[in-house]
């Protein structure tokens, strides 16, 4: 980039389209109804350039803001001056506006500069018609305070005078609510007396138009859930939709030259400091650049006009810091020098010199304003770090913002760059990236004796899930959380349950033994009973004394093979098995008031 100066005019300039804020929708509120306009030499005027520099303050009453349609809580995001005639008015160097609340209702001198909202200093060429400016942060009106607006433009390094552009004004007579300092040697935003100019206290108040932001449409956020230990497929991740502008943010990169109180001495340039400018972020669109010098000192008898700097490398330009300030010594708190041309990464070197004596530069830095592609992703609901931008979908794992080693939730926050849009929102939109632990499935059945042809209910007892797939092992399945199933044929079936909790899948299996249908079920009231096979008999033991018991032996198809009545002796019944073959047999024992069926494997 190149420094703008009287001694070196750059042939590389930023495209005009980059310096203009895109047209945006907001509600415009004109304040002031007068139709008279100032002339080429008339003051007050926000574009006052009959002197090389101007500092002006204007007070707009709360009643005037209300009459213009503003309400408490309205956020002013843009300012507009309407120029009716240019009158030959030229570039206004480092044109800046600042806003704030005040209880004052008149001006007879400067009040403390307002600091609640401001525009970025920028060289501005007025045009006939609307001249719009975007505030770096919204000014929220409280509904009762008067508005103090300060307009400044000057550059001791390269400013020149031209003429005032015409803007309509409204009379506030007899009260004076505008105060202007016009000075060819203006050098500070805090300067209150002219060095080579004049002041004017007036009852004419320039008409202004305030752009109040409308409510932003909410972003549509979609979270993402992944299973612990898994990765995120390419192209997937958390997402937001709803940004209406492709660029936003109004970011500023600041890079300071190392060192303080850099000497300006000797007529030959001496290297005092250097820095390496990194590349701007990918996709950045440059808006403006400036060199800022602070605490510039010219101790008497050194004059401000004696001090020079020369930058080489990625920033080029030689400038006399304050060429018109001969016979002026002292300290200037801040000098801003606009830079033109494309941004270039690399080493920039700062050299100094003096035509007489020794002066000092307290510090030096460069600032570059740029926009980035939307949306913007942050790691906190306010403040925090910008962690990603320019994509509606991001993978938090790939960005290093989350991992899937353990379960948990990572919150990210997205917006569209509030300061570059004409709407306001309640804050950033939260988006969840969730890592779920694998589910642990299990189930139970409502009976320990599953009988062919009789319905059994299976109840899920595992960890939380939202999808179920049951395979009952007989060719049938279900997706119910608590299914009921009937096995038609006795046998052993492997029931497999597959569950999913939204990201993770797991399977649990259990063998279910389905017994023969004996025709009687649901009577399981006998006292504890044991049935087992020996080499030559089936033994039934029970503490039932000497009561009469009916014993049946059934095959796998439910057919009765043995049916006998026994009188138990000492609670034991012995049933010979000579007529039974190897296999599974079912022993049904019926007492006076109860019945039970037992599955007895028999090996011959």
The segments of the chain whose pLDDT lies below 50 read 5-25, 419-421, 520-525
Among residues 392, 416, 436, the one where a domain terminates is 436
Q: Give the domain CATH number at 294.
A: 2.60.120.260
**Residues 331 and 400 both lie in one domain:** no
Residue 4: inside a domain: no
Among residues 384, 405, 436, the one where a domain terminates is 436
Residue labelled with tokens 């507009």 = 80
Q: Are 150 and 19 in contact (CB under 8 A)?
A: no
Q: Alpha-carbon torsion 485, 488, 491, 494, what sign?
A: negative
Residue 9: inside a domain: no
Residue 384: inside a domain: yes
20 Cβ contact list (under 8 Å, min separation 6)? none
**pLDDT for position 24:** 41
Q: Give the strand pairing for 214-215 and 423-424.
A: parallel
**pLDDT for position 104:** 98
Which uninterrupted H or E stretch holds 120?
Answer: none
Which uninterrupted H or E stretch holds 132?
Answer: strand 129-140
Query: pLDDT, tens digit, for every residue of 377-425?
Result: 999 998 899 999 999 999 999 999 999 999 999 999 998 875 444 566 6
Among residues 371, 393, 416, the one where a domain terminates is 371
The pair of structure tokens assigned to 104 is 């004052």
Region of 66 please: left (phi>0), alpha (psi -120 to 50) or beta. Answer: alpha
Residue 11: inside a domain: no
Q: Are 482 and 457 in contact (CB under 8 A)?
A: yes
Query: pLDDT, tens digit, for every residue of 69-120?
Result: 999 999 898 999 999 999 999 999 999 999 999 999 999 999 999 999 999 9
Residue 96: inside a domain: yes
The pair of structure tokens assigned to 409 is 């939730």
Q: Give the domain CATH number at 103.
A: 2.60.120
Determine the structural domain holding residue 413 and report its residue range: 217-246+374-436
**Residues 342 and 463 both lie in one domain:** no
**Residues 467 and 320 both lie in one domain:** no
**Residues 471 and 587 both lie in one domain:** no
**Residues 128 and 273 both lie in one domain:** no
Report the SS3 class of residue 446.
Answer: coil
**Residues 157 and 276 both lie in one domain:** no
**Residues 577 and 475 both lie in one domain:** no
**Residues 31 and 109 both lie in one domain:** yes
Residue 8: inside a domain: no
Q: Give the domain CATH number at 468.
A: 2.60.40.10
**Residues 56 and 67 both lie in one domain:** yes
**Residues 284 and 426 both lie in one domain:** no
Residue 114: inside a domain: yes
**pLDDT for position 543:** 56
CA atoms within 13 Å, Cβ hemisphere of 165: 22
Task: Name the domain count of the chain.
Answer: 5
Give Cα 361 distance to the centre of its chain.
Answer: 39
Residue 553: inside a domain: yes
Q: What's the whole-model pTM score?
A: 0.71
**pLDDT for position 457:** 92
**pLDDT for position 572:** 74
**Residues 87 and 205 both lie in one domain:** yes
Residue labelled with tokens 């009040």 = 111
**Residues 380 and 452 both lie in one domain:** no
Report the SS3 class of residue 269.
Answer: coil
């Amino acid at each position: 980039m190149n420094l703008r100066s009287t001694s070196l005019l750059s042939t590389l300039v930023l495209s005009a389209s980059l310096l203009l804020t895109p047209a945006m929708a907001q509600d415009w509120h004109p304040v002031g109804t007068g139709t008279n306009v100032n002339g080429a030499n008339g003051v007050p005027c926000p574009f006052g350039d009959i002197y090389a520099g101007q500092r002006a303050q204007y007070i707009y009453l709360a009643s005037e803001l209300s009459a213009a349609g503003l309400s408490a809580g309205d956020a002013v995001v843009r300012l507009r001056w309407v120029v009716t005639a240019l009158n030959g008015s030229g570039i206004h160097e480092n044109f800046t506006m600042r806003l704030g609340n005040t209880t004052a209702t008149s001006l007879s001198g400067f009040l403390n500069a307002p600091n609640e909202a401001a525009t970025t200093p920028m060289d501005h060429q007025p045009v006939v018609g609307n001249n719009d400016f975007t505030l770096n942060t919204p000014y929220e009106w409280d509904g009762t305070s008067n508005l103090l607006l300060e307009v400044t433009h000057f550059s001791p390094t390269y400013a020149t005078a031209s003429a005032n552009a015409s803007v309509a004004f409204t009379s506030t007579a007899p009260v004076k609510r505008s105060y202007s300092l016009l000075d060819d040697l203006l050098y500070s935003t805090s300067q209150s007396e002219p060095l080579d100019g004049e002041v004017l206290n007036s009852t004419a108040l320039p008409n202004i138009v305030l752009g109040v932001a409308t409510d932003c449409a909410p972003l549509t956020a979609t979270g993402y859930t992944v299973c612990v230990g898994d990765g995120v497929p390419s192209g997937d991740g958390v997402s937001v939709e709803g940004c209406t502008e492709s660029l936003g943010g109004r970011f500023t990169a600041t890079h300071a030259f190392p060192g303080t109180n850099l000497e300006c001495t000797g007529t030959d340039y001496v290297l005092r400091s250097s820095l390496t400018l990194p590349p701007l972020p990918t996709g950045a669109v440059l808006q403006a650049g400036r060199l800022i010098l602070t605490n510039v000192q010219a101790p008497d008898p050194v004059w401000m006009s004696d001090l020079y700097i020369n930058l080489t490398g990625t920033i080029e330009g030689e400038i006399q810091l304050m060429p018109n300030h001969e016979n002026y010594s002292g300290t200037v708190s801040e000098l801003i020098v606009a830079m033109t041309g494309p941004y270039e990464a690399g080493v920039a070197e700062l050299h100094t010199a003096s035509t007489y004596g020794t002066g000092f530069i307290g510090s030096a830095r460069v600032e570059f304003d740029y926009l980035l592609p939307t949306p913007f992703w942050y790691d906190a609901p306010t403040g925090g770090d910008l962690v990603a931008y320019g994509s509606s979908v991001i993978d938090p794992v790939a960005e290093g913002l989350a991992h899937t080693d353990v379960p948990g939730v990572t919150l990210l926050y997205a917006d569209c760059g509030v300061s570059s849009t004409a709407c306001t929102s309640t804050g950033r939109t939260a988006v969840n990236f969730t890592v779920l632990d694998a589910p642990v499935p299990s189930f139970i059945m409502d009976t320990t004796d599953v009988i062919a042809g009789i319905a059994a209910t299976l109840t899920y007892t595992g960890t939380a899930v939202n999808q179920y797939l049951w395979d009952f092992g007989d060719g049938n399945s279900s997706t119910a959380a608590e299914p009921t199933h009937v096995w038609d044929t006795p046998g052993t079936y492997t029931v497999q349950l597959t569950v999913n909790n939204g990201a993770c899948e797991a399977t649990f299996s259990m063998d279910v033994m389905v017994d023969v249908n004996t025709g009687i079920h649901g009577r399981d009231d006998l006292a504890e009973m044991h049935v087992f096979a020996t080499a030559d008999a089936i033994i039934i033991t029970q503490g039932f004394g000497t009561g009469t018991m009916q014993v049946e032996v059934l095959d796998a198809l439910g057919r009765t093979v043995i049916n006998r009545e026994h009188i138990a002796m000492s609670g034991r019944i012995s049933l010979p098995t000579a007529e039974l073959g190897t296999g599974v047999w079912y022993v049904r024992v019926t007492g006076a008031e109860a019945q039970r069926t037992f599955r007895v494997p028999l090996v011959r």
